[in-house]
Structure 1
Amino acid sequence: MNAPVVPTFITKDQFKTMKTRTISRAGLGLAAALLVSSISSFAADFPTRDIRFIVPWPAGGGADAISRKINNIAEQQLSKSIFVENIGGAMTATGLTQMTRARPDGHTVGILTYDSVITLPRGDMVPGYSLDNMKFIARITKEADAIVVSKSSGYTTFEELIEAAKENPGTVRIGVAPEGSGPYLAIRRLEEATGVTFNVISYPGSSSAETEALLSGEIAAAISSLGDFSGILESGDALGLIELASEQNPSYPEVAPISEHGIDLQTGSFIVIAAPKDTPDDIVTTLESTYKTAFDTPEFQEWITSVGVTPSWLGASDVQGWVDDLQSTTYKVMDELGL
């Protein structure tokens, strides 16, 4: 037999409280709906104001130069300007976290480099930083790392550098980005492949710090892309010894790929453009189209190859799969090296 139903009575004050909470919840739901609606309405007229483009490295490095070049061309297609803002720190996490917390309406975007995709997620280094908070727009470059030496070092070939490291272990000073970065991983793999030991010195921030160290004689060599060192290579203050790739870089025919020495070591960086995760798809499509047009211009293609960087386009629909594959293969190598 079912228990009798006992009627429940509430006071007048309780009823008022329940009514207020119901209205509050409805108001929050309406506010959220209005926010989505307002962002969607902007899509048709996008952009409605200047676009903020965050470069998570200090000014002066390769990523900064490439960002400024492609944005100077891209903004010619838009009714508004694109201004680059350098926000360095925490191996790109500081600037990119600001990007992900911006209103997702396409007016704040930023770039990811190797550390953004590999180093930070691998170590779960910065609370709140996650690729899940981003929506990829495109990849515009993919470039190999290289070993560059200063003119004052006296080294003129890759063989000379390796021989010196063999004869005097731990004395040849070579600059790289901090532990966990692509260049750091590259030097440890090179040591293992050649049986040598370098004096590895890490430099946080962009490659401009390594450039200064090379010029001052603080280090004899450094690892980053040839594009990052294009200025001192052109001036003759530095020399490219080897590129960590399996194919010849046509922009630097004098710098051989390391595969010619029988070493399988391919590492490098890239630039991926991204927006906050809730950015509407039609705005992402507009941005992707804008950057693709800029990417395809003779001006950008000629400039990017002139500084030794390989233009390499992937659209929004393909970047996620490429990032997943890159993480999988890189983390496997890092596990093998105990890094």
Structure 2
Amino acid sequence: MFTFTFTLRRSLLISAAAALAFPCAALAQNFPSKPIRLVVPFPAGGPSDTTARAIAAGLGQKLGQPVVVENKPGAGAIVGSEAVLQQPADGHTLLMASNVVSTGKWLYPAMSFDPLREFRSVAGVFKSPHQVVVAPGFKGTGIQDLIRMAKEKGAAMNYASSGAGTMPHLGAERFKQVVGVEMTPIPYRGSAPALTAVLAGEVPVYFDIEFSAQSMLKFGKLRSLGVTSLERSPQFPDVPTLDEQGVKGFELYSWFGIVARAGTPDAIVQKLNASINEAMQEPDFKTRLAALGAQPIGGSPAVFQKMIESDSALWGGVIKKAKIQLD
């Protein structure tokens, strides 16, 4: 009797589990049922937009539905993020995320949503280190020269940023905190104006994302005092890391990946993740990534989520210490 009851109970449990699993499997099998919107919360032509368009075509082929890139810039990525949050959590509207997902709640205390709670990771795409760029006439060859100059000038030492709260701004603020110097940010409306300002001698230094600065560096219009990865960049093997130059353990990356609304079913997230990882293996995408000097992230949603959370803890501390708050 006991054996019969146990067997019956076990059978019922297996049947119940199968019944629960069936809708999830059906969801994944039927997804996507229409074109997917990939919202970029920044203007066209920037790194986030470039990344989105690089991955969209391959992802659409893998999923059998077009992936349409939509630019919705404004308010430091808040406009685009809110546009995604207004749509159903069914995987058909995604956000091309950047470090802003990690920094947003620290930069905008009055933000109406918490990016870490209201989005879930789908897949990391790539990360790019920054280069500490200066004009050719800069009186120094390495990062220690910049530190010496900053200690001599104090707050009179300026640096360019591509806008308050951007990674070039936050990266420079972290650098100040790590090495113990004072420098004053001079904000510009994007990376191109900031690079132009350095070239013109308006400001001496800029912590720019590598793939933004690479053309000026390769043609000798600007020089690099160091790269912010722990290993040298394949694009610039002669440029030493900050770690090599005595700023031990210093890392600064801009990263890009795809997130969905929290509540999007696991089966759909897993299908999207697998398709994105496959698209990243396509030769065309790999070529684009190599040209950008970027490092692929890939892997599971959990890998990307851990990266987002670690990034949030790091930059939360930097932002609090620097007392940066944006409206």
TM-score (norm 1): 0.77
Tell me how far 1:257 sits from its aligned partner.
0.6
2:291 maps to a residue whose letter is S
1:229-272, Cα deviation, whole Å (9 max, x unpaired): 23333443322221123222222212211011111322222112
**2:142 counterpart of 1:131:** no
1:256 maps to a residue whose letter is P
**2:239 counterpart of 1:255:** yes
CA distance in 2, matches of 1:83, 1:138: 18
SS of aligned partner of 1:118:
helix
Partner residue, 2:16: none
Partner residue, 1:325: 310
**2:224 counterpart of 1:231:** no
8 Å Cα contact 1:149-1:239 kept in structure 2: yes
Q: 1:130 to 1:303 in 2, by over 3 A?
A: closer
Partner residue, 1:34: none
SS of aligned partner of 1:296:
coil
Partner residue, 1:28: none
**2:185 counterpart of 1:200:** yes
TM-score (norm 2): 0.79
Is the deviation greater in 300-309 or in 209-218?
Answer: 209-218
Determine which structure has more spread, i.e. the larger CA radius of gyration: 1
Q: Equivalent of 2:78, from 93, 96, 99?
A: 93
CA distance in 1, matches of 2:97, 2:72: 12
SS of aligned partner of 1:270:
strand
CA distance in 2, matches of 1:299, 1:50: 22
1:237 maps to a residue whose letter is K
Q: 1:193 to 1:323 in 2, by over 3 A?
A: closer
User: Is there any run of 5+ residues in structure 1 with no aligned partner, and where?
Assistant: 1-37
Q: Percent identity?
A: 25
Between Structure 1 and Structure 2, how many residues are aligned?
301
- The 5-angstrom pairing of residues 303-314 of structure 1 reads 303-314=288-299
CA distance in 2, matches of 1:268, 1:241: 16
CA distance in 1, matches of 2:158, 2:41: 27
1:74-93, Cα deviation, whole Å (9 max, x unpaired): 22323322222222222211
- The 5-angstrom pairing of residues 55-134 of structure 1 reads 55-121=40-106, 123-134=108-119
Partner residue, 1:293: 278
Q: 1:49 to 1:145 in 2, by over 3 A?
A: same
Partner residue, 2:14: none
CA distance in 1, matches of 2:303, 2:178: 33
CA distance in 2, matches of 1:240, 1:110: 32
Partner residue, 2:15: none
Tell me how far 1:213 sits from its aligned partner.
3.5
1:128 maps to a residue whose letter is F
SS of aligned partner of 1:145:
strand
8 Å Cα contact 2:173-2:318 kept in structure 1: no
Tell me how far 1:128 sits from its aligned partner.
3.0
8 Å Cα contact 1:174-1:222 kept in structure 2: yes
Q: Equivalent of 1:271, from 253, 256, 275?
A: 256
User: Is there any run of 5+ residues in structure 2 with no aligned partner, and where?
Assistant: 1-22
CA distance in 1, matches of 2:74, 2:139: 34
Tell me how far 1:330 sits from its aligned partner.
3.7
8 Å Cα contact 1:93-1:116 kept in structure 2: no
Q: 1:96 to 1:73 in 2, by over 3 A?
A: same
CA distance in 1, matches of 2:276, 2:311: 23
CA distance in 2, matches of 1:233, 1:141: 21
Partner residue, 1:219: 203
Tell me how far 1:99 sits from its aligned partner.
0.9
1:53-112, Cα deviation, whole Å (9 max, x unpaired): 111112222222122112232223233222222222222111111112112222211122
Partner residue, 2:176: 191
1:124 maps to a residue whose letter is P
